[in-house]
Chain A
Amino acid sequence: MSLIALRNVTKIYTSGSQHIAALSELSLFIKAGDFAVLAGPSGSGKTTILNMVGALDRPTEGAIAVDGVNYDDLSSRQLADFRLHRIGFIFQSYNLIPVLTAAENAEFTLLLQGIAPAERRARIDELFERLDIAELKNRRPGELSGGQQQRVAIARAIAPKPAVILADEPTANLDSHTAAELLNLMRELNEKEGVTFLFSSHDPQVIAHAKRVVRLRDGQLENDVRQPL
C-alpha cells in the first residue's frame, strides 16, 4: 500500500481571467520508506505536488491521500492537525523562526503536539547530537551558516517523527560540499530509521542521491525510474 497516493490530480491557478494548469490529471504513488525526488524544470509542478501532499493546498480535481487519510474529508483545522503529526517540512530558505534559538525552533512542533518539556528537551538533545549541531542549540538563526540552519530545519522536521518529510529544493542555497553532507545525513535517516523523503529539485546532486526519480514536465509525469545506488 502507498504512503502517498495522488489520483488524477489537476491543479489550476487562476490569475485574473487567466487559468494556468500547474498539474494535469497526474497520478503518483510513493511507498513508505521511499527516498524520491520530483525532478524537472521550473514550472513543471514540483512545488505544487509538495504543497498538496503537505496539505498546504487542495487540488482542483482528483484525490490525495497520505498515510491512508484522504484530504477531501478534512477541515482546515483537521488539516493543520494532520500536518502537525504526519508531515515534516524542509524548505529551500530554511524558514527558521528568527526570534527563537536553534533548539527552540526544533522544539516548536513538539510543543504544538503538547509533548512535555522534559521529553521535548531529551529528543532535541539527541537529535542535535546526531546532526552534529549540539553546540549551536542556543544560537539564533541569524548566527548560523546556511548549512547549520538547514540541519536545524531537518531536526525540526524529524523531531515529531512524521510519516513523510517533504523537502522543497533543500540544497538550493548550499554549497556542494554542505549539500552532499546533508543529503548523506537524510539518506542515513531514511535507511536506518525508515523515514520517507519526497524532494523537489533540479539539482543533479540531489537526483544522484535519490532511490527514485520522478520527472515532471508541464504538470505531467514524464518518467518515473528507480535507480541503483
Chain B
Amino acid sequence: MMTLTLAWRNLWRNRRRTLITLIAMSFSLMLVQGFHNLSFGVYAQMIDNGVRAGSGHISIYRGDYAVSRDDRLTFVPADLPQKIAALPGVDGVVERLYLPALAQSSRESRGILLTGIDPTAEGLVNPLLRRLDLPALLPSADGRDALIGSRLLQELRLEIGQKFVVTAQGADGELASELLFVRGTVESGIRNIDRSLVMVGRQRAALLAGRPDAVHEIAIMLNRPDESGAVLQRVRALLPPGDLQAIPWDAAMPNLANAIKLDYASQKFIFLVIVAIVSIGVVNTLLMAVMERLPEFGLLLALGASPWRLRAMVLCEALLLGLIAMLLGSALGSLLTWYLTDVGIDLRRFLPESMEFGGVIFDPVLRATWDFEYMLRMAILMPLLAALAAFYPANRAARTAPAVAMRNS
C-alpha cells in the first residue's frame, strides 16, 4: 500500500510533466480508438454494399466458379433457396445467372455481362437497384425487359424504350440471340459496372444460355454479418451431395477483401507509430523522474528497501500513469467515436459524390461503428505499454549505489 501511495504522490511531484505525458497518452488512445472505429464503420458499410450488390455474405457456387468464372458451371437450385431463406439469421436469398455476351444496338456493339435476376428478391437487397421500381421495370422473369448500365446506354447510343440485341454462347456451344428493350438504367458509379451491366429476368437469361432454371450463384444476405460463421455451417449442411460449395464473402470477393486488408494494414502501421511515440514519451518522463531522484533511491536502499521494491515503485508509477491514460483516453475515444457515428466526416466537398474502393462504392460521408472489443484491447494496452516503457527506468533505479547517491544528495 505504501508503494502505491509513494508512487501516486511521486507521480504528481512534477504536475506539468505528468499532465503533458498523460495528455499525449490519452490523445493517442483516443486517436487509435476513434479512427479504428471510423475504419471499422467504413469497411462495414463497404462490405455491406459490396456483398448486397455482389456475392452476398455467403455464396453458393458450383465447383470453382468463384475463381474461374467458367459459365458452364451452372446448377439448378430447386428448393435450396427456400430452405436457406428459412434458416435463422438469413435476411434474403437471391439467385443469379451471369453470361458474357455481346450487346448490339443499330449503331454500336459492346461486350457486356448479362445478369439474370429475380426482380422482386433482387430489388429488396441490391443497393444498386434501390432507387428503381423493379417490379414495374422488370415485371416478369422471362420478359424481354432489361436494365442497362448508364455508360453502356450512352456507348450503344440507346434511349429508354429502344430495342437492342444480346448474343451469347448457349450450352450447346452455338451462338444464340435475344431481342431486349431498355426499360431503365443503373448508375453504380463504378465505371466497369456502368459500361457492362445488362440485367434481365433470370428465366430470359437461362433461355438464352440454353440452361432452363439454371443459376451460377445463390447469394445469401444475413441479418448480422458477424454470425456468418454459424450460418455458413447451417447452409453447408443443406447442400446436396456433389460439387456445390458455400463460401464466405471474402473468398467470393477477394478483391474487396484484399483492398480492405491492405488499407487496414497501412492504418495499423500508423497506429504502431503512434504507440511507439507514446512509449518513447513515457520512457522519457519516467527516466527523468528516476534520474532526478537517484539520491532518494539511495536513501531508500540505505534504509533497507530492496532493489525489487524500487523497481516495483517505478513500475507502479508507470502503471498508474497508464491506468489514468486508459480511462481518460477511452472517455475521449468514446466521445470521438460518438461524434463520428452521429455526424461523421463529410468528404463531399473534396471528392466526387461516388467513390470506388476495391470495386465497391462507398458513402462519401464516413461514419464510425462501435468496436467495443478493439477499444477494450487498446485501452488495456496503455498500462501494459507504460509498464514496458518503465522497465529500463525501473532497473536504473534499482541499480543505484546507495553510498554514491547519498554522497550526491
Residues of chain A having any CB pair with chain B under 8 Å: 47, 51, 54, 56-57, 76-77, 80-81, 83-85, 87, 89, 91, 93, 95, 97-100, 104, 108-109, 111-113, 156
Contacts and interface: CB of A to CB of B under 8 A. Distances in A.
Nearest to B7: A99
A112 B403 contact: no
A152 to B, nearest CB: 13
A56 B402 CA distance: 6
Nearest to B309: A112
A108 B296 CA distance: 13
B6 to A, nearest CB: 7
Contacts of B403: 51, 56-57
Interface string B376-409: 0000000000000000000000000011001101
A89 B303 contact: yes
The size class of the interface chain B forms with chain A is 20 to 34
B273 interface: no
B10 A99 contact: yes
Interface of B: 2, 5-6, 9-10, 13, 295-296, 299-307, 309, 402-403, 406-407, 409
Tell which of B295, B303, B406 has the most Cβ of chain A within 10 Å.
Answer: B303
B305 A80 contact: yes
A81 B304 contact: yes
Contact of A91 (B2, B13, B300, B406): B406
B9 A56 contact: no
Tell which of A80, A83, A89, A108 has the most Cβ of chain B within 10 Å.
Answer: A80
Contacts of B303: 83-84, 89, 108-109, 112, 156
B398 to A, nearest CB: 10
Contacts of B302: 54, 56, 83, 89
A109 B304 contact: yes
Contacts of A81: 304, 306
B304 A95 contact: no
A146 B343 CA distance: 61
25 contacts: A47-B407, A51-B403, A51-B406, A56-B301, A56-B302, A56-B402, A56-B406, A76-B307, A77-B306, A77-B307, A81-B306, A84-B305, A89-B302, A97-B296, A99-B9, A99-B10, A99-B13, A100-B5, A104-B2, A109-B303, A109-B304, A112-B303, A112-B304, A112-B305, A112-B309
A217 B281 CA distance: 50
Nearest to B306: A80
A112 B309 CA distance: 9
Contacts of A77: 306-307
A87 to B, nearest CB: 8
B2 A95 contact: no
B304 A80 contact: yes
B170 to A, nearest CB: 88
Nearest to B407: A47
B243 to A, nearest CB: 71
- Determine chain B's interface SS by DSSP, over half rule: helix
B316 to A, nearest CB: 13
A113 B402 CA distance: 19
Contacts of B6: 97, 99-100
Contact of B304 (A47, A85, A91, A100): A85
Please name the 8 residue pairs, one residue from A and one from B, whose CB atoms are nearest each other, closest first: A84-B304, A99-B9, A56-B403, A57-B403, A83-B304, A56-B402, A51-B403, A95-B299
Nearest to A58: B403
A108 B304 CA distance: 10
A72 B28 CA distance: 51
Nearest to A81: B304
Tell which of A99, A100, A108, A156 has the most Cβ of chain B within 10 Å.
Answer: A99
Contacts of A80: 301, 304-307
Contact of B2 (A51, A54, A93, A108): A108
B306 A95 contact: no
B388 to A, nearest CB: 25
Contacts of A99: 6, 9-10, 13
A79 B215 CA distance: 84
B409 A93 contact: yes
Nearest to A97: B296
Given A56-B406, A84-B305, A91-B406, 19 more contacts: A47-B407, A51-B406, A57-B403, A76-B307, A80-B307, A81-B304, A83-B302, A83-B303, A83-B304, A85-B304, A87-B304, A89-B302, A89-B303, A95-B409, A97-B296, A97-B299, A99-B10, A108-B2, A156-B303
Contacts of A51: 403, 406
